[in-house]
Chains A and B, each alone.
Chain A
Amino acid sequence: GISASQLVAVIWDKSSPEKALKDLVDRLQRLTGSEGQVLMENVNQLLQFNNNKVKTASKLCSALTLSGLVEIKELQREALGPEETQSVQEHLGYHSDTLISVQITGKKPNFEVGSSSQLKLSVSKKSSPSVKPVVDPAAAKLWTLSANDMEDESTDLIDSDELLDPEDLKKPDPASLRAPSCGEGKKRKACKNCTCGLAEDLEREKSKQQSAQPKSACGNCYLGDAFRCANCPYLGMPAFKPGEQVLLSTSNLQDA
C-alpha cells in the first residue's frame, strides 16, 4: 500500500542481502516519487542508544518532525502477525511481542534561505506565572553526571561519526555558495554626489554606449575611502579637510 509522496523508512542490518535491499529501495523510490522519501535506518544504530527512542509510533512521528518534514500524519497501524514477528526476529535479531506496522505520511517543506512560516503555537492569553517547566526525571537522570563518571575513562563513549548520515558528508553545491545578485566581477560604485564622472560612466555602460573618459579629480574626495568612487586618485589616503592641499606624489597615482 505504498503510494506517491509518502515517507518510507526501511530498517536494515548487515544480514540484509545487498541486491534485495537495493531492489526494494528502487521499487519504493519509484512508488513514492519525487515528493516522497525513502529513509534507510540501520537497526544497530537505533538499538544502540537504548533509550526508547523511535520504538513507538509517536516517537517516530516526532523524529520525522525534527528531521524537517511537515504535515506528519499517522495513516494506519496494525499489529504484526506471528509470521511477521518471527521474520523480524530472524532477520534483525530483535524480539518483541508488541510489534506493529505503522503508516505515516509527511511532506518535505520548501524552505528557502530567508523564508519563514508561521509556527502554530498556542500562546495562551492569560499571563501564566512563570513556572519552571517540569523536567522529565528520566531525561534528567541521563544528563546528571556524577563527578566520578566525568573522570571515568572506561565509560562507554559513542562514536560521533555515526551521528552523521550521507547527506551530511556531501560537499555543498558550489552554486549555493554564490551571492544571489553578484555573478560577474566586483561592482564599481559611484559616490553619492559624484562629480568625477563615474556615475555617468555606469549609466552609459548600462545603456550599452561607449563610456567617456572619466574626468579628473572631483570635489568630494576629501571624505575618505568609504565615500570615494573607484576612480578617485585619493583612494588609500585618509580623509582630509575640504580645500586642504593634499599632495599626490607620482607614486600615489600608481596602483598598489
Chain B
Amino acid sequence: MPVPELLVLFGSQTGTAQDQAERLGREARRRRLGCRVQALDSYAVANLIREPLVIFVCATTGQGDPPDNMKNHISQMHKVVLRLKALVHPLFNFVAKKLHRRLLQLGGSALLPPCLGDDQHELGPDAAIDPWLEALWEKVLGLYPVPLDLPVIPPGIPLPSKFIFQFLQEAPSTGSGELSITSSAPQGPASELQPFLAPMVANERVTGLQHFQDVRLIEFDITGSGISFAAGDVVLIQPSNSAAHTKQFCQVLGLDPNQYFVLQPREPGVPCPPGLPQPCSVRHLVSQYLDIASVPRRSFFELLACLSPHELEREKLLEFSSARGQEELYEYCNRPRRTILEVLCDFPNTAGAIPADYLLDLIPQIRPRAFSIASSLLAHPTRLQILVAVVQYQTRLKEPRRGLCSSWLASLDPQQAGPVRVPLWVRSGGLVFPETPGTPVIMVGPGTGVAPFRAAIQERVAQGQTENFLFFGCRLRDQDFYWQPEWQKLEERGCLTLVTAFSREQEQKVYVQHRLRELGALVWELLNLRGAFFYLAGNAKYMPTDVAEALISVFQEYGGLSNSDAAAYLASLQRTLRFQTETWA
C-alpha cells in the first residue's frame, strides 16, 4: 500500500516556524508517513486541492504581517483567498486565523481547530503546540494507521540521517577542497552560491583605545569580481569559525580534521548541500560550514538525546527536549547564549559518540551577515569598505559572547604573508537616494549608522550634488567620531553641512534628535519647501522612535500642524520614499 502523504507548508520569518515545520516532518516520519516540508512561496497554490492532508505553519510577524516567504504567495492566493493589510495594534496569530477561515470557506475541512502558539506564554509557543501535536497525531493515525510491519519509531530512536559520509582513505590529489568554493574566473555575478573571494586590503581600528568598543574600517579589493553597487546597498559576508574552535570541535567529537569525505544522500532525489565542495575535508566542513558557534534549538537536544550512549547525559538531554524541560533549557542555553560547541563540551561522552553521518542533521549551516556598504565606486573604483563594530558582551558564562562574523573579520590581518580572502556578494539595500538633481538630502546616522551615508555623500559629491545635511551622533569627539577629517574637508568645499551631537561631553546627554529640534526651522524648510529626502540609519532600539518623535514636534512647531496632521505628513513622506530607514539590532 502506498505511503500516505502529508504536506507541511510553512511561512517563516526568523526560522521559528520553519523549525516547527521540520519538527512536524520528523514526527511524521516516525509514524511512517510520507512527508514533504516546503516553504509556502515554493509551492504552487493551485495544487493544494489535490493534497489529502496539509498542515500550515505560519508566523505572524511585526504588526500582524505574514512572513516574507508567505507574502508573494499570499498575494497570489489573494486572487482567491485574502489580502493582508498592515495593522496597527498587536495581533495574535492573525495570519493563522485568517488562513484557517479562508480555507474553510473554500471547502477545506479542518481536522483540528488551529493551534495558536503564543511566544508571550511563559513556556513559549510549545505550550500550545505540544498538546496540539498529540491530538493531531491521534487523528492522523486514525486516518492513516501505521502498517503492522513498520511500527512507529519511538522517540528515543534516531531517524535515519539525511546524508552518509563516505570517508576517503587518502586526500584527493588536486587538494581542491579549500579553494573550490570559487575559482579565479568567476561564472556570473557573485552570489550566495558563488561568493567572490575578496582580498582584504585594510583592517583599521577607528575607535580610540580608551573606547569601550572596537570598531573597524575594513576595505576589500573587488577587482575582477564584476561586482557593482550604489549607495544604500548592502554586502553579505560569509564568516568562518576560528581555528581554535575548529580544533576543539574535532577533538571533542574525535574527528580527524585532515580526513576527506564524499557526501551521499540517503534518499534518492535529495540534493547535496550546495555550499560544500565534493570531496570535502573535515576541516573545511567544521570551519566553513557547520555553525558550531550558534545557540542550539530544542531539536538539537532531541537528536542528541537519541544518539547518546551515556545514561546520565542522555537523561539530561531527554529532559531538555521534553515539553516540561523547556524552561530549564531556556535557563541553560538561550538566556546565557550557550553555543553548540559549549554544549558538546558539557556532554563529552555523547559528543564523542556522534556518528559523522548525523553532523548535517544536528548542526545548521553558518548564515551570512549583512553590512551597509560604506564607500562609493565613484570615489574608490575597485574597492568596497565597511564599518564593523566587534560584538562582545558578557552573560553569566565566564567566556564572553562574541559575534561570529565581526570577531572573525577583526582577527584577519591583511599585512600577513599570504592574501587574506573573504567570501562576499552584494544585494540592493533598503535605502534609495534621489536621482533628480538639486534634491537636498537629510541623513541621521549616529554611531555605525553613518556608514551608508558616507557612501551616499561620496557618491552625491562625485555627481555634483552638494546639498547634503548629516546629523551624526557619538559619545566623544576624540573616541568614535568616524571620518572626521573627511567631513571637515567636504564642509570646507561647501559639499556638506555637518551637525554633531557628542552624548558624553557634557553633564546631560545630547543626541541627534535634540539637534533636529534645535534646527527644526531648517529641517521644516528643506522637507516642506525644497522636497528634501530624509534618511535614518543605525541602532534599532530607541533611536528611530526618538527621531520620529522629534520630527513630529518639528512639524508641529515650525509647520503649525496639529499632532495628527504631523503624523499624517510623516506617513505621506514614508509612502513617497522621502522618509527611509535602515536599522539593525
Interface on A for B, CB 8 Å cutoff?
49, 51, 53, 63, 66, 68, 111, 113-114, 116, 119, 121, 123, 127, 130, 132-133, 135-136, 139-140, 142-145, 149-150, 152, 155, 157-161, 163-164, 168, 171-172, 176-179, 182, 186, 189, 192, 223-227, 235-239, 252, 255-256
Contact = CB atoms under 8 A, between A and B. Distances in A.
B548 to A, nearest CB: 25
Given A51-B105, A142-B80, A160-B98, 7 more contacts: A49-B105, A114-B134, A116-B138, A130-B4, A163-B102, A164-B97, A256-B397
Contacts of A239: 345-346, 348
A117 to B, nearest CB: 9
Interface in B110-146: 110, 113, 118, 120-123, 127-128, 131, 134-135, 138-139, 142-143, 145
A177 to B, nearest CB: 4
Nearest to B44: A145
Contacts of B46: 143-145
A68 B139 CA distance: 16
B348 A53 contact: no
Contact of A160 (B84, B109, B128, B312): B84
Contacts of B509: none
Which 7 residue pairs of A and B lie closest in terms of their CB atoms, listed nearest first? A224-B346, A160-B82, A256-B396, A114-B131, A179-B122, A157-B83, A163-B101
B85 interface: yes
Nearest to A162: B82
A236 B312 contact: no
B79 A145 contact: yes
Nearest to B50: A135
Nearest to A235: B396
Nearest to B74: A160
A150 B74 CA distance: 11
B113 A68 contact: yes
Interface string B45-85: 11011101000000000000000000000001011111111
Given A51-B105, A145-B45, A163 B98 contact: yes
Contacts of A132: 50
Contacts of B80: 142-143, 145
A225 B122 CA distance: 22
Nearest to A249: B398
B106 A179 contact: no
13 contacts: A49-B105, A111-B113, A121-B142, A123-B145, A145-B79, A159-B85, A168-B97, A171-B92, A172-B92, A186-B327, A226-B320, A227-B312, A238-B346
Contacts of B92: 168, 171-172
A119 B139 contact: yes
Contacts of B312: 192, 223, 227
A144 B122 CA distance: 43
A177 B121 contact: yes
Contacts of B105: 49, 51, 53
A238 B145 CA distance: 46
A54 to B, nearest CB: 10
Given A142-B80, A159-B83, A239-B348, A172 B120 contact: yes
Interface in B271-323: 312, 316, 320
A252 B398 CA distance: 7
Contact of B79 (A116, A135, A152, A186): A152
B149 to A, nearest CB: 13
B346 A225 contact: yes
Nearest to A160: B82
B345 A238 contact: yes
A155 B83 CA distance: 12
Interface of B: 1-2, 4, 45-46, 48-50, 52, 76, 78-85, 87, 90, 92, 94, 97-98, 101-102, 104-107, 109-110, 113, 118, 120-123, 127-128, 131, 134-135, 138-139, 142-143, 145, 312, 316, 320, 327-328, 331-332, 336, 338, 342-343, 345-348, 394-399
B556 to A, nearest CB: 31
A66 B104 contact: yes
A149 to B, nearest CB: 5
B78 A139 contact: no
Nearest to A144: B46
B442 to A, nearest CB: 34
A160 B106 contact: no
A142 B48 CA distance: 11
A139 B142 contact: no
A145 B46 CA distance: 6
Contacts of B123: 179
Given A163-B82, A226-B316, A179 B120 contact: no
A226 B142 contact: no
Nearest to B336: A236
B84 A143 contact: no
Contacts of A227: 312, 316
A186 to B, nearest CB: 7
A71 to B, nearest CB: 16
Nearest to A234: B398
B81 A238 contact: no
A225 B79 contact: no
A201 B106 CA distance: 61
B528 to A, nearest CB: 33
Nearest to B345: A238
Contacts of A238: 342, 345-346, 399
Contacts of B328: 189
Given A123-B142, A172-B118, A179-B327, A157 B396 contact: no
A139 B107 contact: yes
A143 B106 contact: yes
Nearest to A120: B142
Contacts of B118: 172, 177
A103 to B, nearest CB: 23
Given A144-B46, A160-B85, A236 B98 contact: no
Contact of B1 (A53, A130, A225): A130
A182 B123 CA distance: 10
A158 B83 contact: yes
Contacts of B98: 160, 163-164
Contacts of B346: 223-226, 238-239
